[in-house]
Homo-oligomer: A and B are copies of this chain.
């Protein structure tokens, strides 16, 4: 009965193609649309996200004060996925050897960045929104950094490192993986992608080279 085309507009939610006036969870759908657009390589516009959510161009601004806020929310979601994968990799790594854990961290970092370049870009580049505007993003990132600092401190405590000055090691390590990820992102690895896994293999070599460079031997 409710499927009758002549029924009054109330209870219209039952018919599949007629979306109810209120969207289920527009905020979430907009974030997903933004991430999807980025992953497709398209430039992310609020209007296009609204279009994908089948909603008017002004609707997103009920949930985000401006475009940057949408991008920041998308970045937070991407960062959450990133962090989840990193922590899974660390869960599989041996607890005893800090340098192996360091290696596992770097590998997981680069693997994710290689496979989700656009999301990595949103997280890292600070161009889509003011860099300190998302406290969650900042805190999350700080925690990951603290993780690597702890691993390096453990390694030093076990006498595994050649130098006791941890700060340059920490910075260099971050710069190395960050730079590798961004080189891939910015198109500085011209034709490697043709053979699948070539870049990830090179990432592994580079990480091992770095660890060999800082390790005592």
| A residues 22-51 in Cβ contact with B at 8 Å | none
Nearest 9 CB-CB pairs, A to B?
A213-B213, A179-B179, A175-B179, A131-B187, A178-B179, A175-B180, A168-B205, A126-B187, A172-B206
Q: Which residues of B contact A131 (CB under 8 A)?
A: 186-187
Q: Name 12 interchain pairs, CB-CB below 8 A, sorted by A.
A: A124-B186, A124-B188, A131-B186, A167-B202, A171-B205, A172-B209, A175-B177, A176-B179, A178-B188, A209-B213, A210-B213, A212-B213
- The reply to whether the CB of A160 lies closer than 8 angstroms to some CB of chain B is no
Mark contacts of A202-217 with chain B using CB atoms, 8 A cut-off: 1 yes-contact digit, 0 otherwise.
Answer: 1001101110111000
Task: Give Cα A57–Cα B77 distance, bound, in whole angstroms.
Answer: 39
- The reply to whether the CB of A139 lies closer than 8 angstroms to some CB of chain B is no
Task: Give Cα A183–Cα B174 distance, bound, in whole angstroms.
Answer: 9
| A residues 116-132 in Cβ contact with B at 8 Å | 124-127, 131-132
- The reply to whether the CB of A163 lies closer than 8 angstroms to some CB of chain B is yes
Task: Give Cα A194–Cα B177 distance, bound, in whole angstroms.
Answer: 26
Q: Which residues of B contact A169 (CB under 8 A)?
A: 209
For residue A164, give the distance in angstroms from its CB to the closest CB of chain B: 13
- The reply to whether the CB of A101 lies closer than 8 angstroms to some CB of chain B is no
For residue A142, give the distance in angstroms from its CB to the closest CB of chain B: 10
Most B CB contacts (10 A, CB to CB) among A127, A163, A180, A213 go to A213
- The reply to whether the CB of A182 lies closer than 8 angstroms to some CB of chain B is yes
